[in-house]
Amino acid sequence: MKAIVYTAYGPPEVLQVKEVDKPVPKGNEILIRIKATAVNSGDLRLRKADPFAVRFFFGLTKPKKNILGGVLSGEIESIGATIKLFNVGDQVFGSAGMSFGAYAEYICLPESAVLTLKPNIMSYEEAAVIPFGGTTALFFIRKANIQSGQKVLINGASGAVGTAAIQLAKYFGANVTGVCSTNNIDLVKSLGADEVIDYTREDFTENGKKYDLIFDTVGKVSFSNSLRSLNKKGILILGASGLSGMLQGLWTSVTSEKKVISGMISETVENINFLKGLIETRKMKAVIDRTYNIAQMAEAHTYVELGHKKGNVAVTV
């Protein structure tokens, strides 16, 4: 089968199309013919080994896992002897988790993986982009226990996590302010934002407004300024923080009435099914900026790395 393989950390050009062995499912696994995947920030970090700590988990001098790709949609081609939840021919979407491997024509995943049946109203490309931004946004929003009527600000509102967070916050009844660039104002409004702030013209931390919750999806605003924009018992979500941000957040949560939420997300079948339900009832939709084919993976990575994508970048396999 064809796969996008990288054997060294580096720029997008380290991603090469190669022939590799097609996987064979074990008794508790399903073999999926991948139809689409996506390029997410996690793929970029692993490809570049940035931050350096990535190397301690995925290979000090070179990557241990040579096929990236954490999300996918496709059709089940065969199943192991003990599989009960899925059948051959099922169209599915979900996450490959920390095993990655979705930049390929086929993948084997255990029955317990974060997978569910693909809604008929979605294309394979639309289904493939939902798991990363959708599950990330849902995890943090549930952890913050967003309530109806709360004032919520989403920084990086036009990205993969941001576009999902707007729709989820509105679903839970929040009054949503989205922060994005001039070019993305119409998109953010179309997703349900009650107010949009153009960060090229206004700094939300200096306008005097207070919020019950601030969700920083991109890690590009001042920690202390964000805290000042919170109400007395407000919550700050750091969706893309490093170790220093996590430590600052822990200290703030311990020493003040304000709470900071950060860290690794937990992917669950329950959450992917929740997102599926919202999609099927048209309360949530996928946002795709560009679609590439698998042979253009390096080009897709180059575009995502520019940091200006609207929503997601899908890859047809």
Amino acid identity of 161? Answer: V
Q: Class of the 133-261 domain?
A: alpha beta
Tens digits of per-residue pLDDT, 110-130? 999 999 999 999 999 999 999
Task: Answer yes or no: pTM beyond 0.75.
Answer: yes
Q: What is the pLDDT of residue 220?
A: 82
Report the distance separating Cα 248 and Cα 191, nearest Å. 32
Indicate the domain borders of the chain.
2-122+286-316, 133-261
Q: Class of the 2-122+286-316 domain?
A: alpha beta
In this chain, the answer to whether the domains covering 2-122+286-316 and 133-261 adopt an identical fold is no
Cα-based angle 145, 147, 151 (whole degrees, multiple of 5): 110
| Cis before 51? omega within 30 | yes
Q: What is the pLDDT of residue 264?
A: 85
Q: What is the pLDDT of residue 209?
A: 94
CA nearest neighbour of 181 among 164, 152, 156: 156
Helix ranges (H only) for the chain are: 41-48, 54-58, 124-144, 160-171, 185-190, 223-228, 243-255, 269-280, 297-305
Residues of the chain with pLDDT under 70: 243
Q: What is the pLDDT of residue 80?
A: 95
